[in-house]
Copies of this chain bind each other. A is one copy, B any other.
């Protein structure tokens, strides 16, 4: 296991200590718990937005806590859900009297704990509503969207909802916008190699030296096709066909694109993929408003990538364009 770590059991806490040391102006912890992170700044009367999930996915989840995105986040061990109590502590800390929106991925443990935290908040008269993101088209067929895993596309939900909350929209409005973003995003991933969870010490799955797995999840959940390595263009074509037909995205649509590296995949390769994505979208007269490329939701040192598309309307576009300033994502106001 080749990693820059000390003791495996200390990996997550030491990582968070590093984040706190590097970004003291942006984030802090609450309840003296390293796993409960909130924005260092607060805005009176603003709807609070919280997320949470397992560690090992940086920038997900806690990396998006900051201005114009999220107010708080609780994280668990690597690939493990945080507890309901931790989510509740974050909820209390970010409540500014306007209620709290939970945005999190569609995983059983997270749902159970977030629901419990919402009940605990309700008992203290903090209004909480939830948006569960699940947009991985490879994880469940069309018609069963409710069973889909949440992956990198949740970035778009955070971004649009976060901008709306900073405009001081009320809880119903921020939830409506988060729901709309979540409904208009689709993702598909591909994996080339596994990662190693430090406390496990061995690869999360095995895959042949000449193989790739299309549709694999960010915890190594099975995909839809294991086969010989394809060219970048062939791989992108399969992924885009599946994504485009699903919503569907059609001629005349305007989209934002996210090409996400899973951890070990160089930026060069993401751009080789994007070349083909742009060609496909151009061929279908789907206009790209903004392309994001880099690491947005990873699986530590897994090699692979995912493609996400967000269909924009005027409202989502204007919210996506707003500035953001978090430890892992900075954006100046976009033009157009």
Q: Which residues of A contact B (CB under 8 A)?
A: 2-6, 11, 14-19, 21-23, 25, 55-56, 58-59, 63, 192-193, 195, 209, 212, 229, 231-233, 235, 263-275, 278-279, 291, 293-295, 298, 300-301, 303, 305, 323, 325, 328, 330-332, 335
* Identity of the chain B residue whose Cβ is nearest the Cβ of A298 in the assembled complex: B266
Considering the chains assembled together, what is the distance between the CA atoms of A59 and B271 in angstroms? 12
Q: Could you tell me if B231 and A5 are in contact, using CB atoms closer than 8 angstroms?
A: yes
* Identity of the chain B residue whose Cβ is nearest the Cβ of A56 in the assembled complex: B268
Considering the chains assembled together, what is the distance between the CA atoms of A212 and B17 in angstroms? 25
- With a CB–CB cut-off of 8 A, which chain B residues contact A192? 2, 4
**What are 24 residue pairs bridging A and B, where the CB atoms are less than 8 Å apart in the complex?**
A2-B192, A4-B232, A4-B269, A5-B231, A5-B232, A5-B272, A6-B231, A6-B232, A6-B233, A11-B272, A15-B269, A15-B275, A22-B271, A22-B291, A22-B293, A55-B268, A59-B267, A263-B264, A263-B266, A264-B301, A264-B303, A266-B298, A267-B295, A268-B300
* Identity of the chain B residue whose Cβ is nearest the Cβ of A78 in the assembled complex: B268
* Identity of the chain B residue whose Cβ is nearest the Cβ of A190 in the assembled complex: B4
Q: Could you tell me if A269 and B59 are in contact, using CB atoms closer than 8 angstroms?
A: no
Q: A5-B272, A6-B233, A267-B328 are in contact. List 9 more A-B contacts (CB 8 A).
A: A15-B272, A19-B271, A21-B274, A21-B275, A55-B268, A58-B267, A268-B300, A323-B332, A330-B330
Considering the chains assembled together, what is the distance between the CA atoms of A106 and B209 in angstroms? 36
Given A267-B59, A330-B331, are A4 and B298 also a contact pair (CB < 8 Å)? no
Nearest Cβ on chain B to A20's Cβ, whole angstroms: 9
* Identity of the chain B residue whose Cβ is nearest the Cβ of A59 in the assembled complex: B267
Tallying the copies of this chain within the complex gives 2
- With a CB–CB cut-off of 8 A, which chain B residues contact A22? 271, 274, 278, 291, 293
Nearest Cβ on chain B to A273's Cβ, whole angstroms: 5
Considering the chains assembled together, what is the distance between the CA atoms of A23 and B4 in angstroms? 33
Q: Which of B21, B25, B193, B335 contacts A278 (CB 8 A)?
A: B21
Q: Could you tell me if B233 and A335 are in contact, using CB atoms closer than 8 angstroms?
A: no
- With a CB–CB cut-off of 8 A, which chain B residues contact A278? 18, 21-22
- With a CB–CB cut-off of 8 A, which chain B residues contact A273? 4, 18
- With a CB–CB cut-off of 8 A, which chain B residues contact A325? 332
Instruction: For the complex of A and B, list the 10 residue pairs with the smallest distance between their C-beta atoms, beginning with the closest.
Output: A18-B271, A264-B264, A21-B278, A18-B275, A22-B291, A4-B269, A18-B274, A58-B267, A4-B232, A266-B300
- With a CB–CB cut-off of 8 A, which chain B residues contact A263? 264, 266
- With a CB–CB cut-off of 8 A, which chain B residues contact A291? 21-23
Q: Could you tell me if B4 and A305 are in contact, using CB atoms closer than 8 angstroms?
A: yes
Considering the chains assembled together, what is the distance between the CA atoms of A232 and B7 in angstroms? 9
Q: Could you tell me if A272 and B18 are in contact, using CB atoms closer than 8 angstroms?
A: yes
Nearest Cβ on chain B to A39's Cβ, whole angstroms: 15
